[in-house]
Amino acid sequence: MAEIISKRIADGTYPPGTRVPGIVELSAEFGIAASTAQKALAHLRGTGEVRTELGLGTFVADAK
């Protein structure tokens, strides 16, 4: 799932500054457990592709 989200960021489906679907939405879309979706978003945060704003959601990081 992290790879798919990363590709969507790269191809502009999720442009910089836009909100990435949340854990519940990703779980439903990919048919995975919420904990798996959470780990994938954590991985994307670790690579700097997304940032999380507490209480607001996860957003695509600004272009480097």
Instruction: For the chain, give every domain's residue range.
Output: 2-60
**What pLDDT, on a 0 to 100 scale, did the predictor assign at position 63?**
72
Domain 2-60 has CATH 1.10.10.10: yes
Give the tokens for residue 36.
Answer: 């798996």
**What pLDDT, on a 0 to 100 scale, did the predictor assign at position 2?**
93
Instruction: Identify the residue whose tokens are 């957003």.
Output: 59
Q: Rounded to two decimals, what is the model's pTM?
A: 0.88
pLDDT tens digit at each of 64 positions of the chain: 999 999 999 999 999 999 999 999 999 999 999 999 999 999 999 999 999 999 999 999 997 6
Q: By CB neighbour count within 10 A (0-12 exposed, 13-18 middle, 19+ buried), where does 14 fall?
A: buried
For the chain, the C-alpha Rg in angstroms (whole number) is: 11
Instruction: Identify the residue whose tokens are 């439903």.
Output: 28
**What pLDDT, on a 0 to 100 scale, did the predictor assign at position 64?**
60
